[in-house]
Amino acid sequence: MPASDNSALDKLQQRLEAGDCHVGIYGLGYVGLPLALRFAEVGIKVTGFDIDPQKVQQLNAGQSYIKRITGNDITAALNNGFSATTDFSQSAQVDAQIICVPTPLDQHHQPDLSFVTNTVDSILPYFREGQILCLESTTWPGTTEELLQPRLEQQGFTPGKNCALVYSPEREDPGNPNYSTATIPKVLGGITPTCLKLGERLYQHAINTLVPVSNTRVAEMSKLLENIHRAVNIGLVNEMKIVADKMGINIHEVIQAAATKPFGFVPYTPGPGLGGHCIPIDPFYLTWKAKEFGINTRFIELAGEVNHQMPEWVVNKVAEALNQHKKAINGSRILVLGLAYKKNIDDTRESPAVEIMQQLQDKGAIIDYSDPYVPSFPNKRDYHFDLTSVELTEESIQSYDCVVLATDHDDFDYAQLQECSKIIVDTRNRISGKTAVRA
């Protein structure tokens, strides 16, 4: 049984302050890999852990599987001491363990924390005193205290005494050229003040601005509030889009006019639905937890309902557009432009474009897609298309009865699309002209 000895944490603090520490990153996806590269960039030794041997093999060979991260970025990290492994026994060698694994919803829209708990359970056999464990995965308020802390204590580890436990939500924004892992302020909460202090010592090397808060629950709730704020406002503007459409009003012109007000208004843009790992999922973590306290979060759930219906709204627009040309969805050849959930990235998680494809196919359409960032349709839990990205040429565009612009990548030639398409259903307000139908 490990002893309750502050000397272990004193030694950890000294190593963290000096930057002479070894960091383990668990989950090398869109959050974990950029964080690992950032620690390596500032000269801290990093070991990346992942259960996917193909990812590990690619990284150790200096190859990247994320579009915005280059092979040169990986090679630079390898030269600075970064390595990747599937061997969790190496957890005993690191000083800090940072968990960046997915937290999806299950088929019943309930939080699925199995990736988190499985990762912690894989670490625990090798956990030792004088280590700091940090969770970055988005989750419901209380997760760190209610799931992680008891697991540590069952093994004889007490946060603040012989180990440290903190929560610091990830804030990655793929494709945003203005902010990086280093420049996005980082919220941080600890189980105890000592844990928080050690968490600050860890992240201060890699992150420019730290935002310490009083406890892990505040940190957990802050991430949910950020994404619920966006989900609710997007739900509002999507509902306004439906109303404006019925009234024959251009919602985009309305938004541009309202945005001229220099105070009290933040413009949000309607679209085909919510995508990415955070905004479509995170609000349901709070609604699920709130029920434990007898609270129904009706406002959040209503916004979720509106946003969830947007792919169906787009499909109805496709049906209307084809009907005007005396065609039906059934049997029509339809090209969906953009598979990623937002422009200029290769991340397709929860992308509304995929749901639009599925609904169109269910109605009998012959579906293809084109996305310069996604060369072949990825493996997904709920969707299966044996497709590769179509090259956009004058002939290929003209061969489709309808084109649906789902994701407005800057790489698309919009003049060519406007000239060659028979019908365009535009969900992103990028195309004008007689062939374009606004959705």
Q: What is the DSSP string of 296-362?
A: --HHHHHHHHHHHTHHHHHHHHHHHHHHHTT--STT-EEEEE--SSSTT----TT-HHHHHHHHHHH
Phi, psi of 201, rounded to the nearest 5 degrees: -65, -35
Residue 362: which residues within 8 A CB-CB, separation 6 or more? none
Nearest to 19 by CA among 77, 95, 82, 133: 95
Which are the catalytic amino acids? 278
Among 196, 242, 233, 238, smallest CA distance to 217 is for: 196
Residues in the chain: 439
The answer to whether 168 and 203 have CB atoms below 8 angstroms apart is: yes
| Contacts of 221 by beta carbon, 8 Å cutoff, 6+ apart | 141, 286
Cα angle 112, 117, 122 (rounded to 5 degrees) comes to 145
